[in-house]
Amino acid sequence: MPKNIVSIYRIIMSMVLMTTTGSVALILKWISFGASTKFGTKYIIAPSSRLILLLAGVQYKLPRRSVYPNRQVMYTFNHNSYLDVLILTAMGIPNTRFFLSETTFKFIHLTISAMAIGVHYIPMKSDPARRAKFFKEVEKDIMQSGHSVFVSSEGVHEFIHGIAPFNRGVYHMAMNCGMDIQLVYLDVPKKMNALNDYKFNNGTVEAYLMEFISTKDWSLDVLDDKIDSIRERFLKEYSLKNDLHS
């Protein structure tokens, strides 16, 4: 079967499956007034994301649930593949809400699943006033609810084989909320990563936890230095993995 036909089939099947399972989880969340969110994340969305990865020809290695921090943290990861959303939801981390750009609203299948597990939609930098209001409101929600958050340090950008510049806002938020930071590395080999579409080559991806960063001694005076240090850590990890895959 021609490769393009296989790719189209995989894309259609993946979207149908994501829409179906996301709808089931979202309906359960609505009728239970949110009580089923943890169940939906663990038993509906996570298994369906793993199945979608397999349908796309992608094998995966994920952390055991026992290694995740058992308290409120900010997870942050390197984001340069369309596979990332599936990898992250396949991890099935409980009591965690994802930050997604408002530009993802156009992907209905993704929006349904995101609403089912919990999401904060972050405004674009082109609207600084609304973005500032968003962070003020979400910081209040984080401190009241006790849930963790999963954010991309690189924010909205064109995907590259590497590590893009980091955003300051999410780290300022972590500092204000007193949240420590768990670094998560997503290893998507260059040979299988389609930067501009969903036509992935077969292969194996891996997600794993790196350092746990305390924000206890952070202040505005050192915030930029702390962010630069974390980005350097991701750059070193990328270089190491890139050498291994070469």
Contact 121, 102 (CB under 8 A): yes
**CATH number of domain containing 59:** 3.40.1130.10
What six digits make up the tokens of 64? 């055991």
Nearest to 112 by CA among 16, 43, 36, 189: 16
Non-local CB neighbours of 206 within 8 Å, separated by 6+ positions: 60, 61, 62, 186, 187
Nearest to 105 by CA among 96, 95, 115: 115
Distance (Å, whole) CA 166 – CA 145: 26
Strand partners, 96: 148
- Encode the chain (246 residues) as per-residue pLDDT tens digits: 566 777 777 788 888 999 999 999 999 999 999 999 999 999 999 999 999 999 888 999 999 988 999 999 999 999 888 889 999 999 999 889 999 999 888 889 999 999 999 899 999 888 999 999 999 999 999 999 999 999 999 987 777 888 999 999 999 999 999 999 999 999 999 888 775 666 677 899 999 999 999 999 999 999 999 999 999 999 999 999 987 877
> Based on the structure, what is the number of domains in the chain?
1
Domain range spanning residue 7? Answer: 3-245
- Entry pTM: 0.91
